[in-house]
Amino acid sequence: MTMNRTLAAPLRRAVGAAVLAACAAMAAPAGASNILPEEIDAHSHEDGIFRVVEAAGAQPAVLPAYEAAGVVTRESEVDAIFGQQSVTDLLGEPIDIRFGDVVQIEAPDLLRVTTKTELDQLFGLTDPLYSRDGSANPVVSLYFVDAINYCGGYAVNIVGCGQTPGNQLAVEKGYMSSGYGAELLAHELGHALGLYHPDESPYSVASGNLMDPTLNGDTSLDTLQVAQFMGMGFFERFGPSPLIQRDAAGWFVAITPYLIVDQPLVIDPLSGGDGTAATSAVPLPGSGAMMAAALLIAAGAALRRRNAAARPA
């Protein structure tokens, strides 16, 4: 599928050069249809025990068990993708993908993204990668929606959308619960880090890998792609993606998942594997104060690390 892109607000690193963010739309595999919630096995996911953090005054509705899969992050699989050999060969260690608590945003008009206006509204719910004063917000905003049919253009087979580069990503929650979930998220994260589809990259990168425009089961990254988002070798003059951070434990990318809902939801606890996710009900910002409240809740959610120690464009 040819990548559609939409130009967003000017971004740039501290050096001050202007860069435009593009949205890349990822397509479902050929012949695949969108997965309905009824087809999702809520107990098949690996990552997380779901719990609820209710916002003051929220009137939560009970979320059917199968829809709890709507906040599946595939954390361990995405970690494996960003810990593959091409990454460790260059860095000597993997890049940890760290998820914060899931925040609910009550925005019924954004459950299905079908127009540029809706996509702009969705990606405007949280702070962009760069603010007007040039400072960077190094946390990825990952939105879980029912359907995405617009990403630089309209198409029925879009299942994910991400800024290239940027910190705003959106995925269809049904696909995150499918066997393609890790590939879908890792692909969109690759765009956020500055990677393009192989046939659209200004650099010679391998085709048939994670950044192909269609989900294909291949989650490989070549060393040139890793060097690009890490700012190494030829790319040293550009520096690493501002989303790549480091602390005493090593390299990491921080992600806050946002579940778009039509009303606050209660997620039934489900036993999982290597983490804990939570939801906080936040109304769609209608004023600066409401937006500030939403962001404070998101910022207050501490990022967690696993005790141990991947559609489309």
List the chain domain ranges. 20-300
List of residues 6+ apart from 85 with CB closer than 8 A? none
For 106-127, write each residue's pLDDT tens digit.
999 999 999 999 999 999 999 9
d(CA 72, CA 144): 9
Query: Which pTM does this prediction carry?
Result: 0.69
**Strand 139-145 vs strand 168-172: parallel, antiparallel, or unpaired?**
parallel
**pLDDT band for position 24 (50/70/90)?**
low
Q: Output the pLDDT for position 228.
A: 95
Secondary structure tally for the chain: helices H, strands E:
7, 15
Per-residue pLDDT reduced to its tens digit, 156-211? 999 999 999 999 999 999 999 889 999 999 999 999 999 999 888 777 676 789 99
Q: Taking the mean position of all CA atoms in its chain, how far away is CA 140?
A: 6
How far is Cα 151 from Cα 169, in angstroms, rounded to an integer? 11
Structure tokens at 51: 């719990």
Which helix (H) or strand (E) segment holds residue 300: the answer is helix 288-300
pLDDT score of 194: 95
The amino acid occupying position 172 is E
Nearest to 49 by CA among 274, 306, 260: 274
pLDDT surpassing 80 at residue 144:
yes
Q: Give the chain's mean pLDDT.
A: 72
Tokens of 203: 């650099």
CA angle 284, 23, 103 (to 5 degrees): 30
* 213 touches 312 (CB < 8 A): yes
* 9: nearest Cα among 201, 18, 242, 119: 18
* Other Cβ atoms closer than 10 A to 212: 23
Reply yes or no: is the peptide bond before residue 138 cis, omega within 30 of 0.
no
Count CA within 13 A, CB hemisphere, residue 79: 20
| CA-based nearest residue to 187, from 204, 207, 162 | 162
DSSP 285: P
Partners of 283 in the β-ladder: 106
